[in-house]
Amino acid sequence: MYQERPSRLAGAVVWTNTPVPGPGALPVLPDGCMDLLWSDGGLLVAGPDTHAHVPDGPPATWAGIRFFPGTAPTLLGVPAHELRDRRVELADLWPAAEVRRLTGRIARADHPAEALEKVALERATPPDPELRRLVTALADGRPVSATADELGLGARRLHRRSLTAFGYGPKTLARILRLQRALHLARTGMPYADTAARTGYADQAHLSRDVREFTGTTLSDLLR
């Protein structure tokens, strides 16, 4: 069973996922975010996805903190593009002694998700206001070029900063955030054609192509 709540860290979400009887694990869809994860006594980092990630192995209990887009790389000390479409051990990114200390701390905690949140709060740096404005504008459906102009960023500089912060360029981020808006509307029961029109797709077929590219399945199958 999946549960989440807003974190005390601005824009982040604290979540847990406990196996329940039934079908296999659901795919994790691209959302522009990165996560710090705890499972089976280990710490992992989930990099930014460009396609659906289906957890492998036997069912396990997970806890995590999902960071606001663009904020995890400064906390982790690693550019996002180095972690794109990857799950890596935190010990591959941080000194082994530090990871052992944190692993023991979280293992002793009554609630690992809350312990992860405390680690993030201790290490977080103030968010880059420019990047936050970029994410907010793209999440609202603003065009990339217009947003770049409003922020006073040239195309090359915006692309470099996006690779570091998000793991891919601003156009990919905009498409992923648009897909998330579309999925939200479709889950409310809005017809697919209306969903496509409301979220900036040329038509329903355009929406279907993006769903297939980023998730590997159809919108109907995702909602089902």
Task: Take residue 2 and report the two structure tokens written for it.
Answer: 């999946």
| Residues 219, 207 contacting (CB under 8 angstroms) | yes
Between 8-12, 126-130, 178-182, the lowest mean confidence (pLDDT) is in 126-130
Q: Cα 147 from chain centroid?
A: 21
pLDDT at 56: 81
SS3 81: helix
Between 39-48, 56-65, 132-141, the lowest mean confidence (pLDDT) is in 56-65
pLDDT at 224: 83
How large is the angle between the packed helices 129-139 and 170-187, nearest 10 degrees? 50
Return the percentage of the chain with pLDDT > 90, whole number. 88
Longest Cα separation, the chain: 53
Strand partners, 28: 53
pLDDT at 74: 95
Between 11-25, 59-73, 91-105, 128-142, the lowest mean confidence (pLDDT) is in 11-25
pLDDT at 22: 63
What number of CA atoms fall less than 13 Å from residue 164's CA on the CB side?
Answer: 11
pLDDT at 26: 77
Rounded to the nearest integer, the mean pLDDT of the chain is: 94
Whether residue 35 is predicted with pLDDT greater than 90 in this model: the reply is yes
Residue 140: which of 191, 199, 192, 195 has the closest Cα? 199
Task: Take residue 87 and report the two structure tokens written for it.
Answer: 């799950």
pLDDT at 218: 95
pLDDT at 23: 63
Residue 65: which of 100, 98, 92, 102 has the closest Cα? 102
pLDDT at 24: 63
